Amino acid sequence: HREAFIIDGKAVSQRVLQEVSEAASTLIAQGVRPGLAVVLVGEDPASQVYVKSKGKAAEGCGFHSVQHTLSRQTSEADILALVGRLNADPAIHGILVQLPLPPHVNATKVLESISPAKDVDGFHPINAGLLAIGDIGRALVPCTPAGSMLLIDEAIKALGLKLAGLDAVVVGRSNIVGKPMAQLLLGENCTVTIAHSRTRDLAAVVGGADILVAAVGRPEMIPGEWIKPGAIVIDVGINRIPGEGLDKNGKPKTRLVGDVAFEAAKARAGAITPVPGGVGPMTIAMLMKNTLTAAIRCAERTV
Ligand code: NDP
């Protein structure tokens, strides 16, 4: 068995961003500039970093990009009013409310107030429902699973396989990753199993996977020995664990690992995503793709 093909999420995400930029310039030439509004409530440092990189990516694609930063104390009513204005704003095609929201705000209520046509995170029940009934042509699909799907396509091509009929196992059933991932794989005619914290024999389930998607959030919880030889392994997990030694500020170093024990899995898998540099970079790229899609659909509705 030769070593696994390492799926380069950075390269694939750059290709997606390049395609989105080109399509955006065509659209702009026709008089429509895709617009993305990102709403940040509070000063959570991780959220600030995410929001900044989303804004930067949007500008890089030539989009109209706005950021609304609201104080932590902003009332739910004021957030809903802002979303309402963005829903009505013809210059905005995508609205993203950065999670988590402060505890006094009902996040479900806020997410459901976003117009489904502008819901570029794909979290609105209408979009979840369209995905569930297989109507991808009308849905906006959550970014992380959509990006993972492109990485699976990349691996399928590299290994010279066909996706239809393969046994896919998704570990994790969240509404943002696991569940939509399973729907996408089902849409591609895989035989899909969804595993979760109550699954009885996870090792046996994982061992049957031609395609394994791990979206749990537990560092290296899937040992390499569980992987079926030749399998495609997509590791969505991003976990920060203690590293070795001290950083330049004298603080203990940390490092990122996935949900899969990478080195051992690499020796058995046919293809595998690294962490970082696998699924991570795909998420923002797919957000840009969704914003472009929302703008194109909007332009088609108005002509
Ligand atoms: P959630 O915490 O919402 O879901 C985790 C899922 O894992 C749950 O369905 C849970 O099962 C399941 N689970 C927990 N423990 C076990 C176990 N021992 N065995 C089997 N299944 C288990 O997480 P998310 O889906 O939001 O995220 C998952 C991971 O992906 C995280 O590490 C997150 O950081 C990462 N992530 C990465 C992104 C990226 O851009 N690359 C984007 C989004 C997330 P149950 O439902 O039974 O509780």
**pTM value > 0.95:** yes
Catalytic-labelled residue, pool 8, 18, 73, 121: 121
pLDDT at residue number 68: 98
Residue range(s) in the chain whose domain bears CATH number 3.40.50.10860: 31-115
Q: Determine how β-strand 239-246 pairs with β-strand 252-257.
A: antiparallel
Q: Does 236 sit in the ligand 1 pocket, CB within 6 Å? A: yes
14 vs 115: CA distance, rounded Å: 29
- Secondary structure (H, E, C), 98-144: CCCCCCCCCHHHHHHHCCHHHECCCCCHHHHHHHHCCCCCCCCCCHH
| 142-281: CATH superfamily | NAD(P)-binding Rossmann-like Domain (3.40.50.720)
Residue range(s) in the chain whose domain bears CATH number 3.40.50.720: 142-281
DSSP per-residue string spanning 179-247: HHHHHHHHHTT-EEEEE-TT-S-HHHHHHT-SEEEE-S-STT-B-GGGSPTT-EEEE---EEEEEEEE-
Tokens at 37, concatenated:
């509004």
Q: Is 253 a catalytic residue?
A: no
CA 135, distance to chain mean position in Å, is 19
Q: Does 176 sit in the ligand 1 pocket, CB within 6 Å? A: yes
Q: Does 277 sit in the ligand 1 pocket, CB within 6 Å? A: no
Give which of 194, 190, 174, 184 is closest to 135, Cα–Cα.
184
Q: Does 190 sit in the ligand 1 pocket, CB within 6 Å? A: no
Ramachandran quadrant class, 25 (left: phi over 0; alpha: psi -120 to 50; beta: rest): alpha
Q: Does 237 sit in the ligand 1 pocket, CB within 6 Å? A: yes
Any residues with CB less than 8 A from the CB of 67 and at least 6 apart, and which? 37, 38, 39, 40, 51, 55
Residue-wise pLDDT tens for the chain (303 aa)?
A: 678 999 999 999 999 999 999 999 999 999 999 999 999 999 999 999 999 999 999 999 999 999 999 999 999 999 999 999 999 999 999 999 999 999 999 999 999 999 999 999 999 999 999 999 999 999 999 999 999 999 999 999 999 999 999 999 999 999 999 999 999 999 999 999 999 999 999 999 999 999 999 999 999 999 999 999 999 999 999 999 999 999 999 999 999 999 999 999 999 999 999 999 999 999 999 999 999 999 999 999 876
Nearest CA to ligand 1 atom 17: 197
Q: Is 54 a catalytic residue?
A: yes
Q: Is 44 a catalytic residue?
A: no
CATH label, 31-115, candidates 2.170.190.11, 3.40.50.300, 3.40.50.10860, 3.40.640.10: 3.40.50.10860
Q: Does 213 sit in the ligand 1 pocket, CB within 6 Å? A: no
DSSP state, 256?
E
pLDDT at residue number 284: 97
Phi, psi of 83 (to 5 degrees): -60, -40
CA of 25 to the centre of ligand 1 (A): 37
pLDDT at residue number 3: 87
Q: Is this complex scored with an ipTM above 0.95?
A: yes
pLDDT at residue number 2: 76
Catalytic-labelled residue, pool 30, 44, 78, 98: 98
Catalytic-labelled residue, pool 10, 18, 48, 54: 54
